[in-house]
Amino acid sequence: MPNRKILMPVRTVAEWGGVHEWTVDAASSLVARGNDVTFVGQGDTFRERAQAVGASFIEIDWNNWENDIERIAQDVEFDLIFSHAPGGRQIGLAVNEIANAEHVVMVHGAYHDYMYEWSDRVDAFVAASPSLVHFVQRFGRVAPWKVTNLPNAAPTEVFNLPLISHDEKLSGGVGRILTASRLSPDKVPQIAAVEEAAESLSRLYPDIKWVIDIYGDGPLKAVYEQRYAALTRRLSNVTYKFHGWVSPQEVPVLMNKAYLTVTAGMAGMRALAAGSLCLAAGARDTVGIQVDRNLRAGLWSNFGDHGVLRFHASSISDDISRYAVPEAYDDAIERARITVKNGNHQEIVDKLMLSALQCG
C-alpha cells in the first residue's frame, strides 16, 4: 500500500493533554511506517513532542486561524486530512474547501459539534470509544457505516513496568492516591471519588499515612484545594500535595507506584497498563474501581468520560473494602493489565488506525 501524506490539525482547551498525547503516539507509528505527518497546532510542548517523533509542525494562532487556511492548503503537500477535536475539524473542513482531499475526523469527546450539518463533507469518522461510536451515530446523526472505533492505548514501556504488590506499596507506612489531569470543570467529578476512596482507605488502614498526589494544574485549582483541605481536616491520616505538571513520560511511572489512581480517559488506560488499582471518574459518569463489570463499562466509555447507558457502578467503598487486601488487590491489577494489554496495546491500536486511514 502506498504511503500517505497526512495533515493533522489538533486543537483542545489545554496546551497539552490526552488528545495531544494520542495524536503524537499516532504520528510516531505513521512516520515509522513511511508516512509523512504534518501537524497544525499551537504550543511549545506539542510542537516539541511532534517534531521528536519525526512529524512536521505548522504553528498557528487559534484566535486568527482563518488567516492560515490558504497558506496551509497551498504550501503543504497532503492527500489525507486527519482532524482532531472541534477546532481541528474546523480547520480541516476549511482547508479541504480548497484542497479537496480525503478527510477523516476523530471524535475524542461526547460533544455533537453539529455533526449533522457537515458530516456529508467528510469521508469517515473514528471515535475514541465504543460509547462515542454510539454517540456519533445517534446524536451526531452520522451515517452508521462511516463510524469506527479507535480506542486509547498504552505503549510497551508502560506494560513493562514491574507490578508492585499491595504489601510493597504500603511497606513504608505511606499509601499514595494519585490524580493526573487538568484541574478544570470536566474533571471535578474526580474530587468526590477521591474523597470517598480516601475515607474508605483511611478507615481500613488507620496506621497508614495516605497522601493524595495531584498532578496537573488548571483554572479550578482553588476549588480542589478547598475540598481536599476540608477532607484532610476530617481525616487525620490523610494529606494532599499539588505537584503541578510533570512530563508525560513520568506519569505512568508515578501511577505504577501509586496504590490507587483516580482518573479517566487516556490517563485511565495508562493507569491500568502501569499496574495501579484504578478508580474511573469521568466527565459524564463515575464507573468505579476498574474490575469485572466496572472494567467493561470503563473500557466502553473511556473510563466514564464518554458516558455509559443503563449502567450503575458498584459502590466505591464496598469495592475498596473488597479489593484493598493483598490477594484481591494483586489479582485485580494483574487482570486489568492483561485485559488492556490484549485489547489496547499500542501496537494493536496502531493497526486499527492504519486500517481506518487506509495507509501503510
Beta strand 209-215 with 238-244: parallel, antiparallel or unpaired? parallel
Q: Domains for the chain: give ranges and CATH numbers.
A: 5-153+346-357 (3.40.50.2000), 156-344 (3.40.50.2000)
How far is 72 from 284, CA to CA, in rounded Å? 36
What pLDDT sits at residue 43?
87
CA-based torsion, 351, 275, 110, 72: positive or negative: negative
What pLDDT sits at residue 173?
97
How far is 291 from 317, CA to CA, in rounded Å? 14
| Helices and strands (H, E) in the chain, number of each type | 16, 13
pLDDT in tens, the chain (360 residues): 568 999 999 987 667 777 888 899 899 999 999 999 999 998 888 899 999 999 999 998 888 889 989 999 999 999 999 999 888 999 999 999 999 999 999 999 888 889 999 999 999 999 999 999 999 999 999 999 999 999 999 999 999 999 999 999 999 999 999 999 989 898 999 999 999 999 999 999 999 999 999 999 999 999 999 999 999 999 999 999 999 999 888 999 999 999 999 999 989 999 999 999 999 999 999 999 999 999 999 999 999 999 898 999 999 999 999 999 999 999 999 999 999 999 999 999 999 999 999 987
Cell 476549588 found at:
223
What pLDDT sits at residue 110?
86
The C-alpha cell at 174 is: 505511606
Cell 492516591 found at:
177
What pLDDT sits at residue 18?
77
Which of 153, 344, 180, 161 minimizes the C-alpha distance to 260?
A: 180
What pLDDT sits at residue 21?
85
Which residues have C-beta within 8 Å of that of residue 320, sequence separation ≥ 6?
197, 200, 201, 204, 289
What pLDDT sits at residue 1?
58
Residues in a beta bridge with 286: 281
